[in-house]
Amino acid sequence: MKMIKGLYATVALASALVAMPAVAATPIVSSGKLMGATGVTIGGASYDVAFLDGTCSSVFGGCSTSNFTFTTLSSAFAAGNALLSQVFVDSAAGAFDTHPNLTNGCSTSIVCNILIPFAKGNGVVLVKDTVNTATSSLDFTVPLAISANVSTKSLPSVVYAKFTPSLTAAVPEPGTWAMMLAGFGAMGAALRYRKRSTKLSFA
């Protein structure tokens, strides 16, 4: 009976951890503006991000696929979703989710478009546009194709996101912790059950 109760407790704890949101990244704030963040977790790896205005070449030191941290649609999509869930959040550091104009490079209070380039060809850059609006439920990520020569400095609601790998290790997602705890709990329960069911007999 104790073993069953222990399993229930482990499952309950695992479920609670799965329901927890991902750990927020640490925002980099200057004069009230969100300049970027450290410790953004994407696919189990940790990245730092900076929000920078300019052309593709000036921001990334060149405008070819080899200059970009994420080089596939799916990885750029994951990066955009990580920005929405970990960086553009309202906290004591600032209301960065509900006030898009607090993001560096964006001056409109309605929306901020954060571009994450992942491929380039024939003068066109493929980007993931992470759209942070004043209404959280309207935030989304969408693929776009833009001119490689366009400068976000002339666009008040558009800025580039430049990702670099963090020097610090990534913190496991709550779901990962939950699976580990559930696994350890199941192993412990199995060992206890096996030990209890073993009978010694003497000749």
pLDDT in tens, 3-39: 445 544 444 444 444 444 456 899 999 999 999 999 9
pTM score? 0.73
Residue 158 has pLDDT above 50, yes or no: yes
**How far is it, in rounded angstroms, from Cα 94 to Cα 101?**
11
Interval 126-154 mean pLDDT: 96
| Per-residue pLDDT, 166 | 95
The pair of structure tokens assigned to 36 is 């970027």
The pair of structure tokens assigned to 128 is 């993931």
| Per-residue pLDDT, 201 | 55
| Per-residue pLDDT, 167 | 83
**How far is it, in rounded angstroms, from Cα 13 to Cα 7?**
10
Alpha-carbon Rg for the chain in angstroms: 23
Distance from the first to the final alpha carbon of the chain: 32
Q: How far is CA 34 from CA 37, 140, 196, in A?
A: 8, 19, 58
